[in-house]
Amino acid sequence: MTKLQLDGDISAVVLEQAETGSVHFNWIAQKALAGMTPPAVFQRLPASPDIPAGPSLMPEHGSGFHGIAQIEAHCTATQRRVRLGRPVLEDKGSSLCVTARDAALGIEVATAFSFSGDALVVNTTLTHTGNSPIDIRRAASALLPAPDWAAEIITHSGAWGREGHEERRKWDTGRIEQLGRGGRPGFDGGPTLSLTEPAGCEIRGRWLTLHLAWSGPFTLAAERATDGSAQILAERRFAPGEIRLNPGASMALPEAMLALSGTGRNQMRTTLNTALRKTGRTLVRPVHFNTWEARYFEVDEASCIALAKDAAALGAERFVLDDGWFKGRRNDQTSLGDWTVDTAQFPNGLGPLIDAVKTACMEFGLWLEPEMVSPDSDLYRAHPDWVLGWPDAPLATGRNQLVLDLALPEVCDHLFTSIAALLDTYEIGYLKWDCNRDLYPATRDGVERPGAQTEALYSLLDRLRAAYPVEIESCASGGGRIDAGIARRTDRFWASDATDAIDRLRIQRAAGLIMPQERLGCHVGPSPNPMTGRQLPMSFRVLAAFFGHFGIEADPARFSDTERAILKRGIDLYKAHRHWMHAGQLVMASDPADDPDVQIVISDDQSRALVRIMRTDTPKRPLQPRLRLTGLDHDTCYSLVEFALEGEPVEWPLGEYSGLGLMTEGLNLDPGRALTGRLIYLERTG
């Protein structure tokens, strides 16, 4: 029997190979508990296999195990299915590796486990050394036994503009999946699935979250058999015939990440956010101004210069020209793919606007949707063979556009050249990269290739970032593509096309389960909101955007003098605190359905914090329960000040309290009215 242990910062994982050859994954939260992880014991019943199989690493069918197999594949020449042999368990220093091989067919599956902080990172590779091609039906990036305490499954659902709705389901037996078939992760939470024990919440209970770093079709699943054994799965979905592994070839499957918490969802969120920060660039997050909900398609040189001046007066530091700037683009029915400036609207090109933006001490950014093409465009008329679709069926449009086949090298070369021409001609520091429809169908000449589209997108983004120091925002009709795969190639996410501040509280919270707050753009939108019709106070809208990458997406000329003053004060506060906020951790002091919504940003050394309290409805009772905080240092004394967005003074002292007292007894605050918010600053004294 072989037992190996791998340590993270606080956590550890133990793998054990039994005398039968099976390799068991023993869940562990803390290094000190490593000795409490013996493999599961099965009761042998008359109808059981003589040697109970149970879940293990590299599981295979054929020995009485009927759960999820590591790989399902077959040899195209002989029709023989792949069957993995006895795994090999190895300690490779910074990782533990489990390898299993089908000796007859010459295919090998290797899974390496490593830690990024306390996030367990799982990398699986397929290698083919045999003589005949192997067709891969499915293969798991991560396939692990689920903990026996997991009784509920949490996923997210939603639609365009309605992302981030939490779905919690009891899990006793059977299979529950989180699927993405649209060619991009989608609005329903993407490739993320969580398990928890009963009544697990933000600050209590054991939690486990599994995430797949992949921006294409995916499957995440939790499956419990009738014998009580359970597995969790993360994998890229393969279309029929999509993946054929030829002799001598190898294939790296998308990376999976796993976080385990024994003290609620906040700890798990911190673990994943910390790991994701290591994969991205550390940047100052300038205050955005985006033209979309200010002008929509009605953009031109004069109006945009006026917007830039107004935005700069409010404190904006980056001006992003959204859709409508390129040749012939007056609505969403035309011109995608023709990435040249419309001289009817910008007769001198973008130069005068960019000069005005720079004069106002702002950076210039530009909206693009490179993956798409309009049927009414010069590009499509020249290259109708460049789009995805069936050869013998009408092309299916979405938002009046088609999808370019990025897997064609000439398509990616054209896109790189087109974008490079803009970056070479103009001083553009930022690209908003949009993707406004799913892939349907993701075929070329009748052959499905959704994964090739994602891989080609990654390659194009990598090529651009290597050639230009430009920041890139990932937008997919808002939050349709938020995952750790695209995060390695982009710097910011547009979490939703909904700028309604009430909706954004839910949307930002859900997206922030994986992504750090500073990578999630959140903008102050118009009132009434163009999507929901809600009229919300400026102070509420400002506070809703505060715990993200702050921005403005409205016409400043429509703001009253009072609204402008509130917004400017909020921007000044954001600038004063973002340097530590965006290196700190966002924790929740309320659950998703609670009102008020209470969130806290805590500096990495716990010396300061900002508490945001957002009430969306009328309090149930005049007597407000004390507000207990979380995540502070027990032994620290904090001075509390409330920041006021309206009136004078800006700072209202609230007293000094211990971290222990704030977390056990809490703050005694008045109930507040509906659609009001409060921002309280804590700083260590002494």
Give the active site residues. 434, 497
Distance CA 79, CA 132 (A): 10
Pairing, β 218-224 against β 174-180: antiparallel
252 vs 588: CA distance, rounded Å: 36
* Residues 400 and 355: beta-carbon distance below 8 Å: no
Going by C-beta distance under 8 Å and a sequence separation of 6 or more, which residues neighbour residue 452? Answer: 242, 406, 407
Q: Give the H/E segment covering residue 268.
A: helix 265-279
The alpha-carbon radius of gyration of the chain (Å, integer) is 27
Helix (H), strand (E) counts: the chain:
12, 38
Per-state percent for the chain, helix, strand, coil, to nearest 5:
20, 30, 45
Report CA-CA distances (Å) from 266 to 269, 443, 493, 612, 626. Answer: 5, 41, 21, 16, 20
Contacts 24+ apart (CB under 8 A), 579-583: 579/284, 580/604, 580/608, 581/517, 581/518, 581/547, 581/610, 582/285, 582/516, 582/517, 582/518
The burial class, CB within 10 Å (0-12 / 13-18 / 19+), for 324 is: buried
Tell me the two tokens of residue 219. 């499957």
Residues 369-408: b if buried by 16+ CB within 10 A, e if exposed: bbbbbbbbbebbeebeebbbbeeeeeeeeeebbbbbbbbb
| Residue 586 contacts residue 601 (beta carbons within 8 Å) | yes
| Long-range CB contacts for residues 81-89, cutoff 8 Å, separation at least 24 | 82/107, 82/134, 84/58, 84/60, 84/109, 86/21, 87/17, 87/21, 87/22, 87/23, 87/57, 87/58, 89/2, 89/4, 89/15, 89/17, 89/23
What are the C-alpha distances in Å from 254 to residues 33, 122, 123, 188, 455?
A: 30, 9, 7, 20, 10
What b/e readout covers 513-539, taking b as 16+ CB neighbours within 10 angstroms?
bbbbbbbbbbbbbbbebbbbeeebbbb
d(CA 408, CA 198): 49
Kindly report whether the peptide bond that precedes residue 217 is cis, defined as omega within 30 degrees of 0. no
Q: Identify the helix (H) or strand (E) that includes residue 677.
A: strand 676-684
